[in-house]
Structure 1
């Protein structure tokens, strides 16, 4: 897959590069990221190097793009968003993301999700039919971000995910290429 930079004029999404390694290490020290994202803990420089040099590069090569979230075309990385595709499930991808603490609650992640979904559904991008999301129960900020972008709640997977050796419940939602963007109805109270 050819790498693509995406922007809406407020956020820019581009492939993570070597100069992002220190920012990734700094951001991933946040206990809130470690609580909700399946990253190594403690998170060190070698983890960020692997993410940038191997995982991101292989992801783009295999049709699973990962972007650095930036507030200007050449600005410092403040988060990541990606669309992971499994070879046995063509036409579908799982969205995953995190954002540095000081940039939360400003609508930036919703913008990044919108850009990633637009690229994912676009026939000139990935041509996906479905983008699904899952998050550990209690991650209300993640749920709010996808709900704002048209993801429909699909249920609860009891002990459906593993985080550092412990099974946890997770919520599930998805957006189809035929679903309109914008806030989705039908989410249960408290999610």
Structure 2
């Protein structure tokens, strides 16, 4: 598959490139990444170079994982990443600390989700999301993008060392399930 560019009112989602390595390295050294993500830890420039120079282009070419850089509407520097793992149709994302709190990730997640469910990935009728328990910021993004929280038999997420941690899970279909807000109430309450 060839990389696809998506645009929203405030964002351009395009192919990550090697020129993004310095900022990716900086963002991925955030202590929250150690706690909640599966990125290598400690994260180094070599990790960013391998991710951007090999993994991302090879994954787009094979269709295994589609990864977008999140940038301002005019392009510019990378602010974060969002991807869909094709085999499970699973959405994953992160945003650099300086860019959090203004709804940018919810906007990006909604754009990618709508693209996938509109035929961007052939045969995808739903998308999955999961995150380590306690990652309420990620849960808020999933809720804003229309994901309904579910409780599978084994609610876990893999860790970087091959283990698992307790996790929250959600699913998004088209149209958006009317039970979305209610499904999140046990962990997010009624806040928006």
Return the TM-score normalized by structure 1.
0.89
Task: State how 1:19-98 maps to structure 2 within 5 Å.
Answer: 19-63=19-63, 64-86=65-87, 92-98=88-94
User: What SS is found at the alignment partner of 2:56?
Assistant: helix
Contact 1:136 1:169 in 2 (8 A): yes
User: 1:158 offset after TM fit, Å?
Assistant: 5.3
Instruction: Flag the 1:157–1:11 CA change in 2: closer, same or farther, 3 A.
Output: farther
Q: Moved runs in structure 1, 4+ residues, more than 4 A?
A: 156-159, 180-183
2:121 maps to which residue? 126
Rounded Cα–Cα distance in structure 2 between residues aligned with 1:42 and 1:48? 12
Post-superposition CA distance 1:20-39 (Å, at most 9, x none): 01110011111112221101
The answer to whether the aligner puts 1:173 opposite 2:154 as a matched pair is no
Contact 2:150 2:183 in 1 (8 A): no
2:111 maps to which residue? 115
Contact 2:148 2:179 in 1 (8 A): no
More helix by share: 2
1:89 maps to which residue? none
Post-superposition CA distance 1:138-169 (Å, at most 9, x none): 00000000101110111266572332435310
Contact 1:56 1:65 in 2 (8 A): yes
1:184 maps to which residue? 181
Which 10-residue stretch deviates more, 172-181 or 44-53? 172-181
Rounded Cα–Cα distance in structure 2 between residues aligned with 1:188 and 1:155? 13
Report how many residues are paired.
185
Rounded Cα–Cα distance in structure 1 between residues aligned with 2:71 and 2:177? 26
Rounded Cα–Cα distance in structure 2 between residues aligned with 1:182 and 1:49? 42
The answer to whether the aligner puts 1:135 opposite 2:131 as a matched pair is yes
Structure 2 alignment gaps of length 5 or more: none
Contact 1:158 1:168 in 2 (8 A): no
Task: State how 1:99-114 maps to structure 2 within 5 Å.
Answer: 99-114=95-110
Contact 2:148 2:180 in 1 (8 A): no
User: 1:188 offset after TM fit, Å?
Assistant: 3.9
Q: What root-mean-square deviation, in Å, do the aligned CA atoms of Structure 1 and Structure 2 show? A: 2.0
Return the TM-score normalized by structure 2.
0.88
User: What SS is found at the alignment partner of 1:190?
Assistant: helix
User: What SS is found at the alignment partner of 2:168?
Assistant: strand
